[in-house]
Amino acid sequence: MSDPQVILSVRNVYKKFTKDIKYNMYYGFRDMLSNPEATYMTLREKEFWAIQDVSFDLSEGEILGIVGANGSGKTSLMRLIAGIYPLERGALRGLPGQKITSVFALKAGMQPLFTGRENIHIKGAIFGMSKSEIEAKMAFIEEFSELGEKLDMPFGNYSSGMSARLAYSIAIATDPDIFIVDEALAVGDSVFKAKCFDHLKTYVQQPGKGVLFVSNNIRKLLKVSSRILVMDKGKIIHESGEDIRQALHFYVDHCLRHLEKGKRAAKLKTVTDYDL
Amino acid sequence: MSSKVSGNYPPAENLVPLHGNTNEQFATRLIGYARHLKQYSYLLQQLIIVDITNAYKRSFIGLSWLVITPIVSVLVWILLHGAGIMEPGKTDIPYPAYVLLSTSIWSFFQGAYQVTSNVISNSGRFMVTAKFPHEVLVVEQVIVHIINFVIPFFINIVVLLAYGIDFSWAALLFPLTLIPLLFLGTGLGLLVALLRVVAVDFSKLADQCVTFLMFLTPIIYAPQIKLTWLASIVKYNPLTYLIGFSRNLLTQGTLYEPYYYFVFSLASLVFFFICLRIFMKYEGNLLERLINV
């Protein structure tokens, strides 16, 4: 049996940001007047690497879980892959004509004064769908979101769980080849989340499909991921093979590394008992 | 527990660079912009609907406000004139009609500047959480601005008729004469949109200059000025000709300083493309700086 096709290749990617608001503006202005390309690999005062020499592959059929403490660079990396941030250093490669759908903030672009049904058109259009494509997917979105008559209520009156149902259903209706889910399933009821996880697992069985699943919830990652990348300070510090549990154990242990030995072991046991 | 990072990936076959080339030539980028606008035409339509109807969604009379608001403005002008408060000197047409039309044309320029100059700062959060071509947002803002201009303008036309303005056939060319103002306002706005992210002081200064520019343009006073220094500024101010030409064509069917109008129109077009090129080049890079602000 041949190896699954690689559908996304990330090679030696870097991205730097500025810590200080004034320096951030100053560098932004200066870079407009000069050529920052030549000196990109040198950090200036107050700058730091948000992403540093990151390389990995995503193959078809994979749900690649990406975990890391807050500020470890997960979202910045996903924004680079989604094409929201420009790429200054490194290479991002995919299959020709590949469709990437990314969900960072579920409510992004959705309008509180418009009904759920109207928001399907707005959000679908943001994802690049035409009117006919959205109408063709309407039955799927209605069925998947299970919102029924609530689709005709103003979106602003939705609970966070209902918003998640609608936004997630629209995103998945775009039928992406690479689906980036960045903490998008942090809200919502358990029944819907379970449905989404089941759907993701079935979804990636189709040829050419893969998922990048960003979360800090190790229980979710354990249930859904087929492989794990652990990030810290902009770097990938651990990659799992098939043993997801071991990689998540590494992540928790790494988060607790600053504690003294006894406390660390006790905390590790608590987290392991609850989530692993 | 030891970490494990492969770091050694073989080159993957059959793959192509994602998201295209960011160092394309200006002409190639322009074609890309046009292609994106076609591809995302439904998004453009949706954003226009959202922008126009959002403000009136909770109103029982809804979009009627688009007509009521300019009617109230016009009534205020007529009342002020009737009370004899505004008598600035001799104008070719009745003064309230002159001011109404001039401010309307001025607002066309200033509105184009305002909507485009705020395009990144107002939509930054949206831009960093959803991937879509940002040119759609710029075009949407300009279209909504034009719609917001056209509705009150028709009311102004009725008022001009009431003041006895006799329109000639040449007045039909009036919309075309506004195009240079749109280019000038939009070009300036695109440039300031970038400055709002990285040089807030410059952008605030630009806002003040545009506001002040209104007083250096014959809008609430006639172009014939006795004050020497102001007369010199008005003489070299492109807006004097861009606004005056449109105004005279509409109200009198005559061409106000046609030579200067065409020179400044051409200059506005060139200025717009220079600004557009700068905006295209840096907008993506500045977006990542916006998130920290």
- Tell me: the pLDDT tens digits for B201-226? 999 999 999 999 988 898 888 777 77
For residue A151, pLDDT beyond 80: yes
Closest CB from A81, A93, A128 relative to B17: A93
Q: Is residue B15 part of a domain?
A: no
**Residue A250 falls inside a structural domain:** no
Q: How many CA atoms lie within 13 A of A182 on its CB side?
A: 24
Residue B3 domain-assigned (yes or no): no
A113 and B57 in contact by Cβ < 8 A? yes
Note whether residue A106 is domain-resident: no
Q: Please check whether residue B171 lies inside any domain of the structure.
A: yes
For residue B266, the enclosing domain spans 28-52+63-290
CB of A81 within 8 Å of a chain B CB? The answer is: yes
| Domain count for chain B | 1
In a domain, A45, yes or no: yes
Average pLDDT (B56-64) is 74
Contact A128 B199 (CB under 8 A): no
DSSP string, chain B: ---------PPPTT-EETT--TT--HHHHHHHHHHHHHHTHHHHHHHHHHHHHHTTTT-SSGGGHHHHHHHHHHHHHHHHHHTT----S--SS-HHHHHHHHHHHHHHHHHHHHHHHTHHHHHHHHHHHS---THHHHHHHHHHHHHHHHHHHHHHHHHHHHTT----GGGGGHHHHTHHHHHHHHHHHHHHHHHHHH-HHHHHHHHHHHHHHGGGSTTSS-S--S-HHHHHHHHH-HHHHHHHHHHHHHHTS--SSHHHHHHHHHHHHHHHHHHHHHHHHHHHHHHHHHTT-
Chain A residue closest to B1 (CA)?
Answer: A250
Higher pLDDT, B12 or A155: A155
Does B20 reside within a domain? no
Of B1, B39, B132, which is closest to A250 when you measure between CB atoms? Answer: B1
CA B201/CA B211 separation, integer angstroms: 16
B16 and A5: CB-CB below 8 Å?
no
| Domain contains A34 | yes
B288 shares contact with chain A (CB less than 8 Å) = yes
Tokens describing residue A245:
């549990």
Under the banding of pLDDT at 50, 70 and 90, the label for residue B24 is confident
In a domain? residue A247: no
Could you tell me if residue B152 is inside a domain? yes
| Chain B residue closest in CA terms to A34 | B282
> Which chain A residues are Cβ-neighbours of B29 within 8 angstroms?
none
In this predicted structure, what is the pLDDT of residue B3? 62
Per-residue pLDDT band for B8 (boundaries 50, 70, 90) equals: low
ipTM: 0.89
Domain hosting residue A57, numbered range: 6-99+176-242
Please indicate, yes or no, if residue A125 is contained in any of the structural domains. no
Residue A252 lies in a domain: no
Contact B131 A84 (CB under 8 A): yes
For residue A224, being part of any structural domain is answered with: yes
Q: How many CB pairs under 8 A join A and B?
A: 149
Give chain B positions within 8 Å (CB) of A109: 126, 129-130
B183 in a structural domain: yes
pLDDT, residue B292, reads 45
Average pLDDT (A217-241) is 91
Give the span between the Cα atoms of B70 and B76, in whole angstroms: 10
CATH code, domain with A84: 3.40.50.300
- pLDDT score recorded for residue A113: 93
Total number of domains constituting chain A: 1
